[in-house]
Chain A
């Protein structure tokens, strides 16, 4: 079973290499695929490198943009804080005289200062406070100092920091509930007030801004680049990071940008795979495109080659068919191209072969008929000859020399007639047989006819169809002469290539109408004589070709001349015709 399968596979795999279609297909495919492939690879490489380049630049650009915008916001906070600071430092003003106002004037001072702080607020600043050392504050009346003091960054600042202090994004849980933005995420800046005596000594300016804008910037960056975004403080603490399960790797693509305002770092990290994902997309598109183009090329090649080779195959099959003898097969000519011409020639050839075949079959049929006829005439030669010999002995015993003589000659003539082993005999043999025939006639009719012979000696050993002269002589005696009386002249000339024999008699002659139909097979054979001439004519034609045969000239009452020419062939030593 396995062997069978293997065999089948082997054949399947092998045969295509021999087929023209396979070669054509391979060729077409190569022609299509090589440029396609090189084009695909080239465009993939250049586009992916371009994309990387662009994306890399874009990423850095995007991070820098975010940094600039965050910087702008932080800077605004810083400027606001500094302007409050310088307002408080102005020695010509006594802004606040009493930390916690009591009197109308003090309240007025406080209100004026709070109005000033309010005026500095743009929409983005949720809060501006000036917080004294004891925990009293100026600004919107919605801060819980006790809760603010719980914040770790506040403690951190109070214990260590002496300079501006940036607070990362954090929920403002220390705003009074119900007040604006309570609990929302804010970003803050603390600026300590120095060189100040009185109620504002060591007070702090706290500016807080809603963080949503910065979050939006980060979210946009995350969405645009698919990167993991992180914001780090200057002691590398994490202020913000994208809320995903990102595990940093050494091969991550990293874009960073340092905030100018406070040395925080914005970092966008993209995993190696993410960064090269666009390439993968380009690659898969290129591969899909290539595969599609190849499939198309394959289909086209298959279609084209099968169109071409299909017709060739058809022609080949026709030839094979014709080879097995089915000559009626014909190529259907559907175009004028080379194959069409080939097909037409093939059809012509088949037609010719077929007509030749028909011709051969016809000749064969004639031959068969002749053989059958010969069979018909054939009597068991032994019986005949034994009987004739018996009669001859009887005639000798009875002393009838004449009958004996006749029987002897008849036997010789018949021997020649019945010897079917040789179709071609020498002229000499044929002439001897004629002599015997004439002897019979002489006994029969007496010495009433002349027989004149003019034979070229060179022709003696040449070949002539057997029994070709005897029917002619017979014809003379039975139809030409009256009671065997007349004159017969036989001439045989030998040329280089041909022999010519002329047989003349002065008998009754043949009338013209009969002469015309004498040698045609279709004529009904009413008389035996006619058939004899026809047979002889056919013998020559059969042996030497249709160009040969008898030519009969006759004048009524004057006699008949029969001329025939045949190719000169001499008997070879082994008895075969040369």
Chain B
């Protein structure tokens, strides 16, 4: 009896032991986790001692306005960068439409992302790290490989605040099928607005609601700059301080009139207004023969199996053709606490291997463009030709208040497109904008 009691007790003890074993296995796990964590820390400290100074993992924040596919590309680049630099983590922050708002807030609070997409250098230059010393020191970057026209857009008063990551210039897309049907020869480099008018008239068939060229209802004033420059005009004086006589100058008004004349004379049509399809869609639908825009819809036209070509924009008679660039650049915040790491990331972002996998716009390095054979491809070549001719500085880089002036300019151009007198409209815009200029 005693023995059985002992056995019973021992069994109970055993079962309790089993239970506590379960418990302890749990705690053992947690202990292991703790151990792992500790081991991780140990590794860290080992690396620290081995690597010397600042090998503690650093997280840099990277802000972008991109969404969708372009964002995926950026995340891919960040991932590749992290693999090459195990001690630097990149936190991609897609700000999307709220980019400007969030950037202003970040800079204002002194807590901006370390690296960010940038185009509006005049507005943010105070908050951006000048990169010239980095560029000079770091031979890896090979600054000469970048198209010099692109770098112009990243400089204010000779100081470089960013590096280009991608760009597009503006060209004229033309529907080969419509040209062939109308028996019109394709446009070529060196063509003029008069050539365009002649072609467009032939290509217009109002019974088919088919027009020679599409004109924007609400105008991209920035994109129109190339046309203005080509006619020898400009929105603003070279020092950025004068608009009177420039914005409403003869050459500028003339350039704008060539646009509105297309509507007035009936060989062009307004697209993209209220309740209207976008010009891209109408061009794709074969209802306009020519369409002036950047690289953006090119892939879509290809996907739609369109037979189309690209050509540089028309010139005004003998005057030299000028282009304007839409460029994405990348910059470092002045307030960044990890500028070295930020520079490493920036450098990687504009390295040939990163640029090669970027598809949304065109390669900014001549070596990459050559390697990808883009500068010789008939569809892409005009973009690089336009890049060569984009030597003028856009107005917004010359005057930090340009945003306000721009909206008045847009109003005036919209009025011109609706048939108002060009000179009157521009005069009014100048009048309304004078107050924004710092005299």
A residues neighboring B (CB under 8 Å): 101-104, 107-108, 111, 115, 123, 135-137, 141, 143-146, 176-178, 300, 304, 307-308, 334-339
Min CB–CB distance A308 → chain B (angstroms):
7
Contact among A123, A300, A308 for B97, CB-based, below 8 A: A123
> Is there a chain A Cβ closer than 8 Å to B342's Cβ?
no
- Residue among A104, A136, A145, A337 making CB contact with B411, cutoff 8 Å: A104
Q: How far, in whole Å, are A102 and B415 apart by their CA atoms in the complex?
A: 6
Within 8 A of A (CB), among B380-439: 407-408, 410-412, 414-415, 418-420, 424-425, 428-429, 432
Residue of B nearest to A304 (CB): B4
Whether the pair B411, A108 counts as a contact (CB closer than 8 A) is yes
Residue of chain A at shortest CB distance from B425: A104
Contact yes or no, B411 A111, CB < 8 A = yes
Contact A178 B281 (CB under 8 A): yes
With a cutoff of 8 Å between Cβ atoms, the chain A residues found around residue B428 in the complex are 104
| Bound CA span A360–B415, Å | 147
B209 CB within 8 Å of chain A: no
Give 9 pairs: A residue, B residue, CB < 8 Å, sorted on A.
A102-B418, A104-B429, A123-B97, A123-B98, A137-B274, A178-B281, A304-B8, A308-B4, A335-B2
Measured between beta carbons, the chain A residues less than 8 angstroms from B217 are 141
Whether B4 lies near A146 (C-beta < 8 A) is no
B273 at the interface (CB under 8 A from A): yes
Cβ–Cβ contact B412 & A104, under 8 A: yes
Residue of A nearest to B8 (CB): A304
Distance, CA A307 to CA B420, complexed state (A): 113
Please give the distance in Å from B393's CB to the nearest CB on chain A: 26
Q: What residues of chain B lie closer than 8 Å to A177, measured between beta carbons?
A: 281
- Whether A307 lies near B281 (C-beta < 8 A) is no
Q: Please provide the chain B residues from 347 to 369 with a CB less than 8 Å away from any CB of chain A in the complex.
A: none
Q: Are A141 and B420 in contact (CB under 8 A)?
A: no
Q: Closest residue of chain B to A123, judged by CB?
A: B98
Chain A residues in 8 Å Cβ range of B407:
111, 115
Q: What are the interface flags for B239-280 relative to A under an 8 Å C-beta threshold, 1 for contact and 0 otherwise?
A: 000000000000000000000000000000000111101101
Q: Check if B91 is an interface residue, CB within 8 A of chain A.
A: no
Q: A144–B273 Cα gap in the complex (Å)?
A: 10
B418 to chain A, nearest CB (A): 6
Residues 106-118 of chain B, each 1 if its beta carbon lies under 8 Å from chain A, else 0: 0000000000000
Chain B residues 160-192 with CB under 8 Å of chain A are: none
Tell me how far the C-beta of B430 lies from the nearest C-beta in chain A, rounded to whole angstroms: 11
A144 contact set on B, CB distance < 8 A: 275
Question: Which residues of B lie under 8 Å from residue A102 when comparing CB positions?
Answer: 415, 418-420
Q: How far is B407's CA from A561's CA once the two chains are assembled, in angstroms?
A: 168
CB of B208 within 8 Å of the partner chain: no
* A176 to B1 CA separation, bound complex (whole angstroms): 91
Residues of A within 8 A of B274 (CB): 136-137, 141, 143, 145
- Distance between Cα atoms of A101 and B280 in the complex (Å): 25
The answer to whether B415 touches A103 (Cβ under 8 A) is: yes
Taking CB atoms, residues of chain B closer than 8 Å to A108 are 408, 411, 432
Q: Given A145, A176, A304, A338, which contacts B277 in the complex, CB threshold below 8 Å?
A: A176
In the bound complex, CA of A107 to CA of B356 (Å): 43
Complex partner residue of A178 from B280, B408, B424, B429, CB under 8 angstroms: B280
CB-CB under 8 A for A111 and B410, given A304-B8, A339-B1: yes
- Cβ of B217 to closest chain A Cβ, rounded Å: 8
Given A102-B419, A300-B8, 8 further pairs, Cβ under 8 A: A102-B420, A103-B415, A104-B411, A104-B420, A115-B407, A176-B278, A176-B281, A304-B8
Q: Which of B89-144 contact A (CB under 8 A)?
A: 97-98
Residue in B7, B274, B281, B424 whose Cβ sees the most chain A Cβ within 10 Å? B274
Which single member of A103, A146, A308, A337 contacts B275 (CB below 8 Å)?
A: A146
Q: What are the residues of chain B within 8 A of A136 when measuring CB–CB?
A: 274
Report Cα–Cα, A111/B429, bound state, in Å: 13
Q: Can you list, as one digit per residue, whether each of B81-93 has a CB less than 8 Å from chain A (1) or not (0)?
A: 0000000000000
A337 touches B1 (CB 8 A): yes
- Complex CA distance for A248 and B272, rounded to whole angstroms: 49
Question: CB distance A141 to B272 under 8 Å?
Answer: yes
State the Cβ distance, B191 to closest chain A Cβ, in Å: 29
- Cβ of B429: which chain A residues have Cβ within 8 Å of it? 104
Query: How far apart are A295's CB and chain B's nearest CB, in angstroms?
Result: 13
Distance (Å) between the CB of B170 and the closest chain A CB? 19
Docked Cα-Cα span, A335 to B278, in Å, equals 102
B residues near A307, Cβ cutoff 8 Å: 4, 7
Tell me the minimal C-beta distance from B247 to chain A in angstroms: 13
B420–A335 touching, CB < 8 Å: no
The answer for the CA separation of A141 and B274 in the assembled complex, in Å, is: 6
Complex Cα gap A145–B274 (Å): 9
A240 to chain B, nearest CB (A): 27
Q: Which residue of the partner chain B has the closest CB to A180?
A: B97
Residues of A within 8 A of B55 (CB): none
